[in-house]
Structure 1
Amino acid sequence: MRITLQGGRVIDPAHGLDAVTDLHIADGRIAGLGTAPAGFIAERSCDVSGRIVCPGLVDLCARLREPGAEHKATIASETHAAAASGITTLVMPPDTDPVIDETAVVESIRRRAQAAGFARVLVLGALTRGLGGEVLAEMAALKEAGCVGVGNAGVPVPNSMVMKRAMEYASSHGLTVFLTPMDPWLSAGGQAHDGQVAARLGLAGIPVAAETAAVGRELALVEETGARAHFGRLSSARAVAMIARARDRGLPVSCDVAAHQLHLTEVDLGRFDADAHVLPPLRTARDRDALRRGVAAGVIEAVCSDHQPHEPDAKLVPFGDTEPGLSALDTLLGLMLKLVDEGVLDLPGAIERVTAGPARLLGIEAGTLAVGAPADVCVFAPGAHRLLDARTLASRGHNTPFLGWELRGVVTLTLLDGRPVYQREV
């Protein structure tokens, strides 16, 4: 299909483009900007004046709950929610059931995503078999099957020698190791940030040292092995500083942060709000502000949703027994625009952190509107607002502490490989 998007503000941070112009699409690729290429005749023209046209969003961490937890959500339901939020590429961690430690699981997920047809689903292979932290997974086979990296999700690898060998194996095959830094002993049994709020509520605390101790070990192993490592979902000021120093020393490391960590703090636990029960935990305002500065400075190169949809019962037991995680696909774009409104980032910078930034970290052909690139496109009305409630959430998971918030930016069109996968009027 040949499509022309007319008169929108086209923002492509990967190439420094920010201009009101036309975008032309043919055969699933970007065919031209401005004047149509020779011989191009659009089968469909869309007037997108007053709207932002940007690359489809790339989400570095989204649990789609399939296979293994279809009572919470499915690949079809969550990729549809992604399309409704302008997200065209999602990365699944390997902690599915069965674990993504065999090529058959990778292929099964790919088939289900293609059958749904709403978004591109990439997967991380397991670092260790069954995420058990003892025996290395067959990383070479997982890469051959299409895994974009390897990791152990939120499951720790306590044995440092196993982790060292895992990094060496991954490095020998050019795979990035995706790390979730959390010391298993310092975080054991923890439910909230180890501070005044947890003490007042009588909740077991998770100290910042649980994150920094793990970051320190992994940085030492990166320096020893030369492996490329990505630290996911940082939550503390000290961890950001450690990554910044490591990068200054030339270590091949990168990091991201979940969008909710840029807006919420331990205070948002309120009176045991289970929707604010997340791992790593919400920390202090000082930590939140340091994360914001890290995003603005480019130390934190990507912002992800850390999407974890749950069925209602998962959040209806006492706080300490609830399942951690929040449903976050619906809020990723709106929370990035809120950072713009609050002066943390300019609009191209905010878009970059959820498009070109994560695409660059993954080494994939996405996050850009350059001629010849896949036509993954998000069009949104920047001045439109929506109130978050059960009726407006596209995800099957309604477990979010942002219910009742009014967020700016409503997606009106999402294209995947030049094909409309979501449309709405504003």
Structure 2
Amino acid sequence: MILFDGATLIDPEGGTARPGALLTDGDTIRAVIPEGSGAIADLRRREDVAAIDCTGLTLAPGIVDLGVKVSEPGERHKESFRTAGRAAARGGITTMVTRPDTDPAIDTPEVLEFVARRASADAMVRVVPMAALTRDRAGREMVEIGLLRDAGAAAFTDCDRVVTDSRVFARCLGYARALDALVIAHPQDPGLSRGTCATSGRFASLRGLPSVSPMAERMALDRDMALVEMTEARYHADQITSSRSLPALERARRNGLDVTAGIGIHHLTLNEFDIGDYRTFFKLKPPLRSEDDRQAMVEAVAGGLIDVVCSMHTPQDEESKRLPFEEAASGAVGLETLLPAALRLVHAGAMDLPVLWRALSLNPARRLGLPGGRLAEGAPADLILFDPDAPFVMDRATLASKSKNTPFDGARMQGRVVGTWVGGVRVHG
């Protein structure tokens, strides 16, 4: 047994952050003990208990990162399960929920089983794979949702390839509803978004960048909400990044639709001005938004309207990023920077640690029906021990990911992971 002694315990279920101790037994949490309890002193004296002094540190459930791209199969030179797992452990992520936008796409039970085998053999953290919603993510023919679900698919998504045919998407939603499967969509109107790399406005115009209005997100979300209302399917928007989309999300919730939404950490901590020097590490999909939109998204996370905060980890090699801004590939890595970037919101007073952990761990676990995300008796011993105030300067050369395309290179950050445990086994620190 392991006793985490003297930590600040983050309980996202109860919404508390208080000092105490936590005891694990094998792969589960055995007890959460408040500070001052005589049981702590008794446990310290037991020979079968290994005590870890956590004075000055914070203990929380491991992060459940919904939407990680691991480039196996097809582009292993960008990221493998081995390197992604190591990066996740260093970042306090104990569960990676991986995307199916691989080459080939994860659209058959055979490919899904291959991915599961590689993940089990190579990754040091838990890996929960998602599957494509349509064949080859082409938006024309629905995958075998039932067979893929039986093979272990946690959800179904075509990622950033929007299913433009509403009849096909409705058929997918209806079939998923019959099987109680979760559909994850990328709310962006592809016609308006195609070929763009910035958010429309004076700033993009001055820099001569092709841009798209945030209304492209709102329009796609409105369509999706209508189809969800028609089919009563379970739906999750992978990224809501514009304040114009929030009323549609609120309306769907009021109408009783089973709808949740997420946002990537980069859209919570960066804005459109960050692309001013044409640095392609800041080229994301959807593009970075205005500061007003960013602040509205932070408030939506703090208020619970946006449920999930994730890394949207998207590794790209040097060749695909060292191009003119318009031609460069979109995306940024985020497994190791998710925690310190998210802690910026706490240090700025926008939210407290329990609220942040609700979005980082509890909500994604609940949405996918996973047992993690909790600091409670009987929960998995998936834990992160960290110092939320430890300062450092991010150096992308030190990242464990194969790809180094982080927009935080050279940034001053706070928050270092001291240890990560998966199923009671220490995988970092």
Which residue in the other structure is 1:65 paired with? Answer: 71
Matched, 1:181 2:187: yes
Which residue in the other structure is 1:14 paired with? Answer: 13
Q: Cα deviation per residue 1:361-395 (whole Å; 9 max; x = unaligned)?
A: 21211101211111000000122112101343232
How many equivalent pairs are there?
Answer: 422
Q: State the shift of 1:344 in Å.
A: 1.0
Distance 1:60 1:164 in 2: 24
Distance 2:150 2:70 in 1: 23
Q: Cα deviation per residue 1:15-36 (whole Å; 9 max; x = unaligned)?
A: 3443221211112111112237
Q: State the shift of 1:273 in Å.
A: 1.1
Match of 1:206 among 203, 212, 218: 212
Long gaps (5+) in structure 2 = 34-38
SS in 2 for 1:354: helix
Distance 1:301 1:142 in 2: 26
Match of 2:161 among 129, 151, 155: 155
Matched, 1:396 2:402: yes
Distance 2:377 2:74 in 1: 40
Distance 2:92 2:22 in 1: 17
Match of 2:83 among 77, 87, 94: 77
Match of 1:258 among 264, 271, 283: 264
Alignment of 1:207-356 (within 5 A): 207-356=213-362
Distance 2:427 2:136 in 1: 34
Conserved 8 A contact 1:4-1:42: no
Conserved 8 A contact 2:84-2:123: no
Aligned AA for 2:13? A
Q: Cα deviation per residue 1:57-99 (whole Å; 9 max; x = unaligned)?
A: 0111111111111111111101110000100011111111121
Q: Which runs of 4 or more aligned residues in structure 1 lie more than 6 Å from their structure 2 counterparts after TM superposition?
A: 36-40
Distance 1:291 1:159 in 2: 29
Distance 2:15 2:360 in 1: 15
TM-score w.r.t. the length of structure 2 is 0.95
SS in 2 for 1:32: strand
Distance 1:26 1:107 in 2: 31
Q: State the shift of 1:202 in Å.
A: 1.3
Q: State the shift of 1:42 in Å.
A: 3.6
Which residue in the other structure is 1:364 paired with? Answer: 370
Which residue in the other structure is 1:91 paired with? Answer: 97
Distance 1:14 1:96 in 2: 34
Conserved 8 A contact 2:396-2:406: no
Which residue in the other structure is 2:31 paired with? Answer: 32
TM-score w.r.t. the length of structure 1 is 0.96
Distance 2:54 2:222 in 1: 48
Distance 1:321 1:40 in 2: 62
Aligned AA for 1:28? D
Match of 1:191 among 188, 194, 197: 197
Q: Which shows bigger deviation, 346-355 or 410-419? A: 346-355
RMSD: 1.6
Q: Which shows bigger deviation, 219-228 or 335-344? A: 335-344
Q: Which shows bigger deviation, 47-56 or 344-353? A: 344-353
Conserved 8 A contact 1:186-1:209: no
Which residue in the other structure is 2:60 paired with? Answer: 54
Q: State the shift of 1:6 in Å.
A: 1.2
Q: Cα deviation per residue 1:31-65 (whole Å; 9 max; x = unaligned)?
A: 11223799985453211111000000011111111
Q: State the shift of 1:299 in Å.
A: 0.2
Match of 1:121 among 117, 124, 127: 127
SS in 2 for 1:142: helix
SS in 2 for 1:310: coil
Conserved 8 A contact 1:246-1:253: yes
SS in 2 for 1:77: helix
Conserved 8 A contact 2:77-2:402: no
Aligned AA for 1:371? E
Distance 1:64 1:152 in 2: 15
Q: State the shift of 1:131 in Å.
A: 0.7
Conserved 8 A contact 2:198-2:209: yes
Conserved 8 A contact 2:72-2:81: yes
Distance 2:238 2:114 in 1: 25
Identical positions, percent: 37
Distance 1:100 1:63, change over 3 A: same
